[in-house]
Amino acid sequence: MSDEVRTAGADATGNRMARASATATAPSAWPSRRLRRIFCLDDFETAARRFLPRPLFGYVAGATENNVTLTDNRAVFDEIGLMPRVLVDVSARSQETTLFGRRYAAPFGIAPMGIAALMGYRGDLALARAASRANIVNVMSGSSLIRLEEVAAAAPESWFQIYVPNESPRVAALVDRIAAAGFETLVVTVDSSVVPNRENNVRAGFKTPLEPNLSLLWQGMIHPFWVFEVFLRTLIRHGMPCFENNQAEKGVPIVSRTVARDFSGRERFDWAELDRVRERWRGTLVLKGILNPEDARRAREHGADGIIVSNHGGRQLDGVPSPMRVLAAVKAAAGDMPVMIDSGFRRGTDILKALALGADYVFIGRPFNYAAAVAGEAGVDHAIALMMAELKADMGLIGINRLAEMGPEFLFGQGWWR
């Protein structure tokens, strides 16, 4: 066991990246100290649970209603076994992949996550810069607290995600702003027409607007590192965080009473409205949140360039399946459009299983958010390096040199995915 851990931690590229970023961005040794005991993506969750005030950790970790979908997102990977080939020369392994004509260093990237700058200092920038350095995809969330222009300047190859507001003129202005900032890929999230029942957030003490109260004060007192490293540092240097990118113009502060109104109003978003977005946006258009193969087919008909099969990490409609369960059918319906996937991916073997079922790329959410929280940019570097090292080892053990070699013949089990 310790050998495996050492191997993962000893990946030359990874360690170089983590060291470079620690010196580039951190004035002290705290990021590397905090990362010493982090050997896989799940370890970031343990560390973040200690670092973040309970309402914030609950917001990131949480899902909806009975967590049926959240649970399925992990359970599905245990149902799919792997069947390796032996005595294969695997000394030439490469996890490089091509997506929309661009070469990436790995087949996984960072999913869009709202209010990331509340968990880690300048979270969106930390995620974008680390992804850019590693040459993997980062999708910036539209529900973010840092101006999109700033992230585009720091990491121009980032993708940008939007929720489409009800009124067409506001959509057009937002799309124009994103294009003017230099983003080339727009991700439109399509699984969020209404705000879901996140009673679990409320139980954890997370509400929008964030209400300063005694319980929040107490949480601050018992999580002083977050208070000083993230909250006060943000407040002093940049002022009270606002929703900067939900609309073409700056939105309201996170503590504003009108913040809920800013989030609502997506009920009328439909295929006709999507056509207007498609007409306006000249770049690559990706739809995120498709589960039904019929919707994949329609996405192609309506001009999407790619789709992300996703249940939003179990945060929208509880009871929908893991995207892995529908991946093969969606892929068949998607034609030649790239099919990407997210929700529940934590291991190199999870990624290999998705590639075997036809996925072109995998996105990972929460672990990168936790990584940015506990150790900023160095944390995200470390998370990327760990996953790259893990995937490289898994490729060797299963007996492949290129990701394109992964197919269903490497899977073992009941075979419901065929």
Ligand X SMILES: Cc1cc2nc3c(=O)[nH]c(=O)nc-3n(C[C@H](O)[C@H](O)[C@H](O)COP(=O)(O)O)c2cc1C
* Shortest distance in whole angstroms from residue 240 CB to ligand X: 20
Closest CB 59 distance from ligand X, rounded Å: 6
Residue 335 phi, psi dihedral angles, 5° rounding: 65, -135
Q: Which residues pair with 138 in a beta bridge?
A: 110
Q: Does 344 bind ligand X (CB under 6 A)?
A: yes
Interface residue with ligand X among 25, 69, 97, 161 (CB under 6 A) is 161
Mark the segment that binds ligand X (CB under 6 A) among 28-36, 268-276, 338-346, 376-384: 338-346
Residue 382 in contact with ligand X, rule: CB under 6 A:
no
Question: Cis omega before residue 107 (within 30°)?
Answer: no
Q: Quick one: 106 or 364, whose CB is closer to ligand X? A: 364
Query: Are the C-beta atoms of 319 and 68 separated by less than 8 Å?
Result: yes
Closer residue to ligand X, CB minimum distance, 107 or 112: 112
The structure tokens 């392994």 sit at 93
Tokens coding 78: 């245990």
CA distance 136 to 339: 16
Under 8 Å between Cβ of 230 and 241: no
Two tokens at 164? 């489409």
* Angle between the N-to-C axes of helices 41-51 and 366-398, in degrees from 0 to 180, rounded to the nearest 10: 160
User: For 34-158, where are the E strands, in sequence order?
Assistant: 80-82, 97-99, 102-104, 108-110, 139-140
User: Cβ closer to ligand X: 97 or 201?
Assistant: 201
Catalytic residue among 223, 238, 302, 312: 312
Q: How far apart are CA 400 and CA 88, in angstroms?
A: 8
Supply the minimum distance, in Å, between the C-beta of residue 402 and ligand X: 25
Q: Which is nearer to ligand X, 117 or 400 (CB)?
A: 117
In the region spanning residues 65 to 84, those forming contacts with ligand X, defined by CB under 6 A, are 73
CB atoms within 10 A of CB 311: 28
What is the smallest separation between the CB atom of 74 and ligand X, expressed in angstroms? 8
Per the annotation, the verdict on 312 as an active-site residue is: yes
Min dist CB 364 to ligand X, Å, is: 5
Show contacts with ligand X in window 89-128 (CB under 6 A).
111-114
Stretch that binds ligand X, among 23-31, 229-237, 243-251, 342-350 (CB under 6 A): 342-350
Q: Are 309 and 323 in contact (CB under 8 A)?
A: yes
The distance of closest approach from Cβ of residue 189 to ligand X in the complex, given in angstroms and rounded to an integer, is 4
Contact with ligand X (CB under 6 A): which of 32, 69, 143, 200?
143
- Alpha-carbon 182 to chain mean position: 21
Which residues from 248-267 bind ligand X, rule CB under 6 A? none
- The CA distance from 132 to 21, in Å, is 12
Interactions with ligand X, residue window 268-327 (CB under 6 A): 288, 310, 312-313, 315
Q: Is the Cβ–Cβ distance between 27 and 233 less than 8 Å?
A: no
**Residue number, 185 or 310, with CB nearest to ligand X:** 310
Per CB under 6 A, the list member of 141, 201, 234, 349 interacting with ligand X is: 141
Residue 259: both structure tokens together: 């913040």
Retrieve residue 169's tokens. 């003129």
Nearest to 113 by CA among 140, 135, 131: 140
| Span 14-53, contacts to ligand X by CB under 6 A | none
Give the phi and the psi of residue 255 in degrees, each rounded to 5: -95, 0
Residue-wise burial string across 367-401, b where 16 or more C-beta atoms lie within 10 A, e elsewhere: bbbbbbbbbbbbbbbbbbbbbbbbbbbbbeebbbb
Q: Which residue of 158, 322, 343, 349 would you call a contact of ligand X, by CB under 6 A?
A: 343
Site map for ligand X, 199-238, x if CB under 6 A? ----------------------------------------
Nearer to ligand X, 155 or 400 (CB): 155
Asked if residue 60 binds ligand X (CB under 6 A), the reply is: yes
Question: Least distance (Å) from ligand X to the CB of residue 23?
Answer: 29
Q: CB-wise, 22 or 313, nearer to ligand X? A: 313
Interface positions with ligand X (CB under 6 A): 59-60, 73, 111-114, 141, 143, 161, 189, 288, 310, 312-313, 315, 342-345, 364-366, 369
Residues recognised as catalytic: 312
